[in-house]
Structure 1
Amino acid sequence: MEIRAINWQDALPLRQEVLWPDKPISFCQVDGDEDAQHYGVYKAGSLVCVASVYKNKDVARLRKFATLDAFQGLGIGSRLIKHIMRELQHEGIRLFWCDARITAAGFYEKLGMEKQGEEFNKSGVLYFKMQIHLKSQVP
């Protein structure tokens, strides 16, 4: 397993396949992709997991985190998020947050993130805002 920086264009097909298979690939691009940091996990030379991080001063937001179905439950995504949180902490990022699908809330809780507020709907999917303060805790 190898974690490395990727460009946003390389992340789009995997984002679409995992997160929005019924939407056009353009739906999977978000404002700020050009300026964000994008990570990919490669296994046997194939891209199997992606995550994108958007920074604003000392706050970073995780968006479009996706792992191919065949590679879910193997710890790949957890290792990637822990890697990202360590990098962000070293950069002085104070708060790391995301909008987590309700079905994935338990995954983020295991990484130390906490739900903020009530569930909400985006594009027909229910989410929670989740966050972690990095200076005090990184798994």
Structure 2
Amino acid sequence: MAVVEQIFPSLTWRIRHIAMYPEHPYDFVKLENDFDGIHFGIYVDYELSGVVSLFTQGDVGQFRKLAVLPDLQGEGLGKQLMEYLIDFCKIQKLTKLWCNARVNAKEFYVKFGFHETNKTYTADGFDFVVMELNL
């Protein structure tokens, strides 16, 4: 059984490192404004297995660093985190949620109603596209 809970920012770092940037130094996954965000973790059998971080400005939210441990990917944990995040944003009365999506993962976000913008860039060897969801 998987359970989503709000977590302390530093708990996100290990999952981000393992799932997203294992070839980089551990500090690479720390965001400058991590302690300004709201962070959620998904626990499987009481073990932190996935994370996502939300940063808000006014009534607009940006989520960053959605990550699930590699050996648990494809089991619906990312989907459960996204559904929780979207519901949380609606309760908080946000009007829009956006992210910088890796191009190879954009179809995942389309399933939740996100649409691609024309804003793209490359960073750290990955191509990104800005995706938005009107809440």
**TM-score range for the pair, normalised by the shorter chain length:** over 0.9
> Which residue in 2 is equivalent to 1:98?
99
Q: CA deviation at 1:70?
A: 1.5
TM-score (norm 1): 0.93
Q: CA deviation at 1:75?
A: 1.3
Matches of 1:26 and 1:35 in 2, distance apart?
Answer: 17
Aligned length: 134
> Which residue in 1 is equivalent to 2:59?
58
Matches of 1:91 and 1:9 in 2, distance apart?
Answer: 23
Work out whether 1:128 is the aligned partner of 2:108.
no
Matches of 2:68 and 2:95 in 1, distance apart?
Answer: 26
Q: CA deviation at 1:69?
A: 1.3
> C-alpha root-mean-square deviation of aligned residues, in Å?
0.9
TM-score (norm 2): 0.96
Q: CA deviation at 1:118?
A: 4.5
SS in 2 for 1:104: helix
Q: Which amino acid in structure 2 is aligned with residue 74 of structure 1?
A: E
Matches of 1:8 and 1:112 in 2, distance apart?
Answer: 27
SS in 2 for 1:62: strand
Q: CA deviation at 1:119?
A: 3.1
Matches of 1:47 and 1:32 in 2, distance apart?
Answer: 22
Q: Which runs of 5+ in 1 are unaligned?
A: 135-139
User: Please, which moves more after superposition, 96-105 or 116-125?
Assistant: 116-125
> Which residue in 2 is equivalent to 1:114?
115
> Which residue in 1 is equivalent to 2:84?
83
Instruction: Give the fraction of aligned pairs with identical amino acids, expressed as a percent.
Output: 27
Q: Which runs of 5+ in 2 are unaligned?
A: none
